[in-house]
């Protein structure tokens, strides 16, 4: 489901896709023109990353685990049997681990401006939490982020459109009440909000998969609890 909000400038009518997940087209959000303007400098492919080497680390069985319910017996068995010497929770590139390349300075300056633009929108502290490049066939396996509770926003973009809306990257979560796996297909210039909880009964298990030939980027940050009021013009 998408909160497109075509009738009004402030997308106050946004419908949550679950009780603590919301997503919007960035262009529908007030103040996000300044955010969109930074994307070209943020969506970098550091020349220090060897993509051939990256591809060699792809594991089909890791990818398959994203189709299993994380509280299910099959997932638990797979996880327990993993050889810990090669156990990896993700197959992606952390942009902030690559500083010695020609795009870094412009990227860093864009990050500073991005935080400024977001703090203006939300009227409070915004802290970047993860700037990630998901090349083709990449993934982040099931996890909860429970060590960092609170509202999170991810800005997601790609190097092009998906020709087929059924074959895209996706965000998948397990609904803490129903146990249902919910798969949210992605598209360019998406802003996703979700709340990370620590209560064992409300852990937000989620994973991200880019099984496409497109390059995907996500810029995550902690946003104030009042974020929804801010974008709906209620603060």
Residues near Fe ion (CB under 5 A) are: 145
Q: Which is nearer to Fe ion, 192 or 214 (CB)?
A: 192
Q: How far apart are CA 160 and CA 39, in angstroms?
A: 13
Q: How far is the CB of 138 from Fe ion (least distance, A)?
A: 14
Q: Which is nearer to Fe ion, 11 or 176 (CB)?
A: 176
Q: How far is the CB of 144 from Fe ion (least distance, A)?
A: 8
Nearby residues of 101 by Cβ (< 8 Å), 6 or more positions away: 46, 47, 48
Q: What is the DSSP string of 57-115?
A: T--HHHHHHTTS-TTSHHHHHHHHHS-TTT--SEESEEGGG--SSTTHHHHHHHHHHHH
Q: Which is nearer to Fe ion, 65 or 145 (CB)?
A: 145
Q: How far is the CB of 143 from Fe ion (least distance, A)?
A: 6
Q: How far is the CB of 196 from Fe ion (least distance, A)?
A: 8
Lateral strand order in the sheet of 170-174: 90-91, 138-143, 206-210, 170-174, 181-185
Using CB atoms, what's the residue nearest to Fe ion? 145
Q: Cα torsion for 141, 61, 17, 212, to the nearest 10°?
A: 100
3-state secondary structure of 116: helix
Q: How far apart are CA 97 and CA 94, in angstroms?
A: 6
Q: Which is nearer to Fe ion, 103 or 138 (CB)?
A: 138
Q: Which is nearer to Fe ion, 145 or 168 (CB)?
A: 145
Q: How far is the CB of 154 from Fe ion (least distance, A)?
A: 8
Q: How far is the CB of 203 from Fe ion (least distance, A)?
A: 11
Return the H-helix or E-strand segment holding 118.
helix 104-122
Q: Which is nearer to Fe ion, 28 or 156 (CB)?
A: 156
- Report the phi/psi class of residue 5: left, alpha or beta, with left for phi > 0 and alpha for psi in -120 to 50: left
């Amino acid at each position: 489901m998408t909160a497109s909000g075509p009738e009004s400038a402030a997308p106050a009518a946004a419908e949550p896709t679950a009780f603590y997940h919301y997503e919007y087209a960035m262009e529908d959000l007030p103040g996000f023109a300044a955010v969109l303007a930074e994307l070209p400098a943020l969506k970098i492919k550091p020349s220090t990353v060897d993509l051939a080497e990256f591809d060699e680390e792809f594991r089909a069985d890791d990818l398959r685990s994203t189709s299993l319910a994380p509280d299910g017996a099959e997932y638990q068995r797979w996880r327990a049997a993993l050889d810990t010497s090669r156990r990896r929770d993700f197959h992606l590139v952390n942009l902030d681990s690559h500083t010695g390349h020609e795009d870094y300075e412009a990227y860093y300056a864009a990050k500073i401006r991005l935080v400024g633009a977001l703090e203006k929108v939300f009227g409070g502290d915004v802290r970047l939490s993860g700037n990630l490049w998901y090349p083709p066939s990449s993934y982040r396996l099931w996890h909860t982020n429970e060590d960092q509770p609170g509202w999170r926003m991810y800005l997601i973009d790609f190097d092009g459109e998906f020709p087929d809306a059924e074959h895209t990257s996706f965000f998948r979560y397990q609904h803490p009440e129903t146990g249902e796996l919910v798969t949210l297909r992605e598209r360019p210039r998406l802003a996703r909000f979700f709340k990370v909880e620590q209560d064992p009964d409300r852990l937000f298990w989620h994973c991200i998969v880019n099984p496409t030939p497109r390059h995907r980027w996500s810029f995550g940050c902690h946003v104030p609890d009042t974020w929804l009021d801010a974008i709906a013009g209620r603060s």
